[in-house]
Amino acid sequence: MAAATALFAVLMIGLFLGLWVYRLAFSDLPPIPDKAVLWSMNRPAGATFVDRNGAVIGQRGPRHGPPLTLDQLPKYVPGAFLAAEDRRFYRHHGVDFGGMARAARNDLSGRHKGLQGGSTITQQIARTLFLSPEQTLRRKLQEAGLAFRIEHLMSKDEILELYLNRIYFGGGAYGVEAASETYFGKSATQLSLSEAALLAALPKAPTHLAPTNDLSAAIARSRLVLAAMVRLGWITREQQAAAIAAPPRLSVETRTEGDFGYVLDLAAQEAKAANVNNVPDLVVHLTIDPKLQSEAVAAVREAVAKGAGAGATQAALVALEPDGGVLALVGGMDHRTSPFDRATQALRQPGSAFKPFVYAAALESGLSPDDVRPDAPVKVGAWRPQNAEGRYAGNVTLSEALARSINTVAVRVSQEIGAGKVAELARRFGLVNIPPHPAPPIALGAYEVTLLDLVSAYQVLQQGGKKAPPYLISSITNARGDLIYRKNPASPDTVYDAGKAAQMIQMMQGVIDHGTGRKADIGRPAAGKTGTSQDYRDAWFVGFTPDVVAGVWLGDDRNRPMQHMAGGDLPAEAWKRFMSVAETGLPVRGFGAVVPAEDAPADEARRDFYGALADQFDQTATGNAPIEAPRPDAEP
């Protein structure tokens, strides 16, 4: 009777213990979806960026290769992983109790030199896809419960394939294909035995053992993998010796983003915003023209090299196609040393490059390009804006005042029509940082803008008064090619009269024809404007042809004055260099009509007539401006 009572007590204790274990392991398990979903479930999102021609120009975030089947891999590739991680894989049902006992014995004895731990490949999948990395009894029991479910859902080969394509290998690479490309520069289908053993050595400690971090440690562990494969009879000793004699050679390309660093920064931000469903493995199609991007980088670096003696330390360039697509974007000299984007992040005073908006507002208010205003001393309250060296030209037309960048006339016109109208137009064109109730120095570009916004605002005139916001991403797909996002092809908004835009283009052609922007002449119809902020802190040239609108900024991150560096100097030259390449192979077109090439050059007589006076006027006012000079726009 006593024996029966004791047996019953043991059974009850065992039952309660079993129920407790079951509750811990199975009561709160997350549901396992269809096995097809497991391939992308909780997969860290990465993005591949391609240019307008479809060529890859960079990657951000984790790298995922296309999925591979066991049949596509040499047999020693999955064999190396089984030897390293789960040599009894095809004999257990998700949990290897013998392996768990061996791992526990090693832990108790302090021996940790073996390859395998206590978790099977199926358990590792369960942990990777469903669970947190915390080391608790509850989590280990849940891991085992999920492993049993996965084994019921999938075949052994399917589980091994899932593991090989999802496991992390360090270096940002997920899956054996991405790892092989990352470390050896080739597909996993071409792995040698020694390379396969090295990859199989990584999942246990991918960050520490990543070959780019500690190659010798990774190779040492790979030799344990080879030895295990020999003991299991999966390779011969001769194959082992040959693999050891030919250790893996890394073929890791220097993963700098070269000319595209600033582009990829901006594209990554926009792609994240567009990927509302957090789809992994994005392929982001950009509007960037790689040839023009390379030329933009060269133009920026050449300008800074030439201007270094005058105090120029940084430059930026932006170019847009007619619908607003970004053809080129350079935010500084070198993205690796300074990722601060001076094309989209830096706020700078545009100086006289803002004047086209003053005159565009004047035309909208009823003035004409041929209207005459005096170039003479002017006073607005306590502010006395001046031209360079105190020189004045007398009565001039508005067209000539813009071409020669005469400060006094721009101020008179702004005061005549009202500074608020100038601000309203500028904001309508996309310069959102301009306050609606500005101070008088708005006429001379005292309010800060970004280069991208300024170039986009000029495009309104190029496009006959239509506003097309700039965009960098044309579409986004997933790795299979399914469309996730496409740029809305909606028609641009009309924000300015087309006839007045044509008048403004004629006025701005005069800037290049015979005004302050003569160094930007590319021998075909073009319009633009120079700009120089107070004390030569910023130098700009922004202009356009019927095909492309582009802008160049030159200056210093600490906002230190340059030595007489005006927008008509190096910025105009850099613009000319870039636009000469951008226009190569395109027909010579006037604004609104194609014209014969021989008709394109500007009239030399008009150029000579105004040339002697033009450069002196490309400066903003000096004196008692009610707006202080901007604070330094230094890199964060």
- How far apart (Å, rounded) are the C-alpha atoms in residues 187 and 195? 11
Active-site residue (options: 192, 352, 399, 405) = 352
**Residue with structure tokens 């090295």?**
198
- How far apart (Å, rounded) are the C-alpha atoms in residues 259 and 270? 19
CB distance 320 to 344 below 8 Å? no
Using a CB cutoff of 8 Å and minimum separation of 24, what contacts does 251-255 make? Answer: 251/183, 251/184, 251/185, 251/186, 252/182, 252/183, 252/185, 252/211, 252/212, 253/185
- How far apart (Å, rounded) are the C-alpha atoms in residues 87 and 238? 21
Using a CB cutoff of 8 Å and minimum separation of 24, what contacts does 610-613 make? Answer: 610/400, 610/403, 610/404, 610/514, 610/515, 611/514, 611/518, 613/393, 613/404
> Are β-strands 538-544 and 549-555 bridged in parallel, bridged antiparallel, or unpaired?
antiparallel
Secondary-structure percent of the chain, ordered helix, strand, coil, rounded to 5: 45, 15, 40
Of the candidates 282, 272, 285, the residue with the CA atom closest to the CA atom of residue 480:
282
> Are β-strands 282-286 and 47-50 bridged in parallel, bridged antiparallel, or unpaired?
parallel
- How far apart (Å, rounded) are the C-alpha atoms in residues 318 and 340? 15
SS (H, E, C) 178-206: HHHHHHHCCCHHHCCHHHHHHHHCCCCCH
Give strand pairing partners of 554: 315, 539
Of the candidates 445, 444, 441, 472, the residue with the CA atom closest to the CA atom of residue 456:
472
Helix (H, G, I), strand (E, B) or coil at 313: coil
E-state strands within 321-435: 326-330, 372-375, 394-397
24 Rama sector, left if φ>0, alpha if ψ -120 to 50, beta otherwise: alpha
Total Cβ atoms within 10 A of residue 234: 17
Of the candidates 612, 523, 617, the residue with the CA atom closest to the CA atom of residue 567:
617
As given in the structure block, the two tokens for residue 330 are 């350079």
Of the candidates 476, 596, 614, the residue with the CA atom closest to the CA atom of residue 525:
596
The verdict on whether 194 is a catalytic residue reads: no
The verdict on whether 368 is a catalytic residue reads: no
Alpha-carbon dihedral angle through residues 63, 69, 72, 76, given to the nearest 10 degrees: 90
Give strand pairing partners of 394: 375
**Residue with structure tokens 């797909």?**
477
Of the candidates 251, 287, 366, 277, the residue with the CA atom closest to the CA atom of residue 51:
287
CB-facing half-sphere around the CA of 216: CA atoms within 13 A: 0
* Cβ-based neighbours of 86, under 8 Å, separated by 6 or more: 96, 99, 116, 120, 121, 122
Give strand pairing partners of 528: 543
Question: Active-site positions?
Answer: 85, 352
